[in-house]
């Protein structure tokens, strides 16, 4: 059986300011660094065969902190980058809502109707399509054991929407995993099963 440990990156400066990051980057806060170090401690006795990370800096920074002294290669997985928010990356949510009220509403509440064309963003359909490719890559490259995957909030939301066999009509209802939370997914001949979702016990 394959066990996949999906982790969201640590808290970033833009997380605290409620600014969309998308493909842009914002460094981990001191709290974000501490979150990752605590998770590293919680995972230290788990033998990971491979480690995958989004190539974006906040994910890579988290991954390096999680690995600590482990001498392991980090495998970049482009399909698990964050949603591309186009021209609204780096601006406060209030400005996004003011400039694109319909798109802002649908981003949060109606994934089917979310159309980011006006600011060259990525649709939820596009996110789901590329994330599905990444998920297939994981199971093609790994048959058993434990693997670690570090990614982003909306991307992980899309992943778990697929694993739970939900349609895009239910996408907006899916929760976003917490920073440095771990979601454990098992995969065998019966398919995928989430056995623990957005676990943050290491932060207590």
DSSP H helices in the chain? 13-17, 30-43, 57-67, 93-99, 101-109, 124-141, 153-163
What are the φ/ψ torsions at residue 27 (nearest 5 degrees)? -70, 160
CA angle 106, 110, 112 (to 5 degrees): 105
Q: What is the tens place of the pLDDT at every residue in 7-34?
A: 999 999 999 999 989 999 999 999 999 9
Ordered by where they begin, the domains of the chain are 2-86+124-203 (3.40.50.1240)
Q: In what order do the strands lie in the sheet with 2-8?
A: 74-76, 48-53, 145-151, 2-8, 182-188, 191-199
Give the model's confidence band at 159: pLDDT under 50 very low, under 70 low, under 90 confident, else very high: very high
* pLDDT tens by residue, 1-14: 999 999 999 999 99
pLDDT tier at 94, thresholds 50, 70, 90: very high
**What dihedral angle (degrees, nearest 10) is formed by the CA atoms of 38, 6, 79, 34?**
-10
> pTM of the entire structure?
0.96
Residue entry with tokens 């980058």 = 81
Distance CA 48, CA 33 (A): 21
CB atoms within 10 A of CB 162: 14
Task: Give the pLDDT confidence of 105-150 residue by residue, as tens digits.
Answer: 999 999 999 999 999 999 999 999 999 999 999 999 999 999 999 9
| Bridge partners, 53 (sequence order) | 76, 150
Alpha-carbon torsion angle 19, 20, 22, 23, nearest 10: -40
CA 32 to chain centre: 15
């Amino acid at each position: 059986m394959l066990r996949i440990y999906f982790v969201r990156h640590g808290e970033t400066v833009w997380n605290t300011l409620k600014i969309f990051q998308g493909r842009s980057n914002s460094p981990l806060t001191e709290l974000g660094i501490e979150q990752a170090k605590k998770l590293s401690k919680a995972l230290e006795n788990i033998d990971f065969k491979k480690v995958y990370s989004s190539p974006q800096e906040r994910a890579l920074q988290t991954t390096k902190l999680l690995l600590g002294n482990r001498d392991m290669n980090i495998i970049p997985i482009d399909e698990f980058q964050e949603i591309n928010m186009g021209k609204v990356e780096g601006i406060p949510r209030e400005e996004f809502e003011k400039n694109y009220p319909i798109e802002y509403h649908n981003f949060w509440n109606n994934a089917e109707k979310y159309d980011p064309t006006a600011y060259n963003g990525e649709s939820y359909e596009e996110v789901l399509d590329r994330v599905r490719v990444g998920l297939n890559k994981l199971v093609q490259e790994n048959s058993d054991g434990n693997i670690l995957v570090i990614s982003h909030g909306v991307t992980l939301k899309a992943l778990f929407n697929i694993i739970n066999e939900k349609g895009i009509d239910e996408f907006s209802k899916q929760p976003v995993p917490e920073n440095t939370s771990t979601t454990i997914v098992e995969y065998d001949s019966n398919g995928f099963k989430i056995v623990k979702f957005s676990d943050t016990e290491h932060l207590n």
